[in-house]
Amino acid sequence: MTPTKAPTDSYFHLHLVSDATGETLITVGRAACAQYANVLAIEHVYPLVRTMKQLDRVLSEIESNPGIVLYTLVDNEIRGRLKERCRDLGVPYLSVMAPIVRLFQSYLGGEPTPRIGGQHSLDAVYFKRIDALNFTVMHDDGQMTEDLENADVVLLGVSRTSKTPTSIYLANRGIKTANIPLVPNVPLPSNIETLRKPLVVGLVASPERIVEIRQNRLLGLNAADTGTSYTDRQAVSEEIAFSRRLCARNGWPLIDVTRRSIEETAATILALFNERRRQQLAET
């Protein structure tokens, strides 16, 4: 459909209509919105829309707040009703999956078998991800270090280098991840330098960034900065220097997360992990 004239305000309404969880739409919608730094998207997310009654409530909301409509709907009748009403209202709409499914169909041939929320099936991949999440939670922040050899990835880093959120992100990809904090005057687990199976990765950031995050954390906890080494720039610099020396001595890859998002850091780790796995398979 030919889109209507763009609004002149600095925001617009983005309607995400799905018969499943809506995660695909949210990801795609936000990725597109990120290309427009000066415009704010007001998200309206409608998951599990599987009946006409549910759709009517969605359509009422779209009518009250016109904007872009993205959808993933399997049911032909519900999908047709949404498209018809969007045309009547003059709002732009798009099936996010349709162009991709058409490409698959042209290459693979035959008709697809539509399944609501098919990517969330309770299959082996799903249970592998749950297993990875359980492992990662139990091995967060230096816990249960006696069985680190069972991890896929072990993250090392000083406080505030995003070890835990990066670990959880990797676990969602099915990667069993443990993370170990590097704390001054606290010895590392005795087995850390003899690990064979896991990929060990160090995370660092600039001293300025670490100090800023730590100060903000103290403020959030209503804790006074008593001048301890936790937020002292020189002390933080020494912590980071130690982590760099440790990784260099053991040949562990080191990632500077100063200007990286969690997703970018995790993507780099996944690339290292997959390359290491390919090398291991080639050697067998």
Distance CA 129, CA 174 (A): 4
Report d(CA 13, CA 65) in Å as an integer: 6
Contacts of 44 (CB under 8 A, 6+ apart): 13, 14, 15, 16, 61, 62, 65, 67
DSSP at 230? G
4: Cβ–Cβ under 8 A, 6 or more apart, which residues? 90, 91, 92
Whether residue 186 is annotated as binding a ligand: the answer is: no
Spell out the residues 6+ positions from residue 147 whose beta carbon is closer than 8 angstroms to its own. none
160 labeled part of a ligand binding site = yes
Which candidate, 164, 157, 248, places its Cα nearest to that of 210? 157
Q: Quote the CA–CA distance of 75 and 82 in Å, as a whole number.
A: 11
Among the listed residues 56, 58, 39, 36, the one whose alpha carbon sits nearest the alpha carbon of residue 47: 58
**Is there a binding annotation on residue 163?**
yes
Handedness of CA 238, 240, 246, 251 (dihedral sign): negative
Of the CA atoms within 13 Å of residue 166, those in its CB half-sphere come to 29
Judge whether 158 is annotated as a binding position: yes
What are the φ and ψ backbone dihedral angles of 179, each rounded to 5 degrees? -130, 140
144: left (phi over 0), alpha (psi -120 to 50) or beta: left
- Distance (Å, rounded) from C-alpha 65 to C-alpha 201? 47
Instruction: Could you list the residues known to form a binding site, using ranges.
Output: 157-164
Instruction: Could you list the residues known to form a binding site for ADP, using ranges.
Output: 157-164
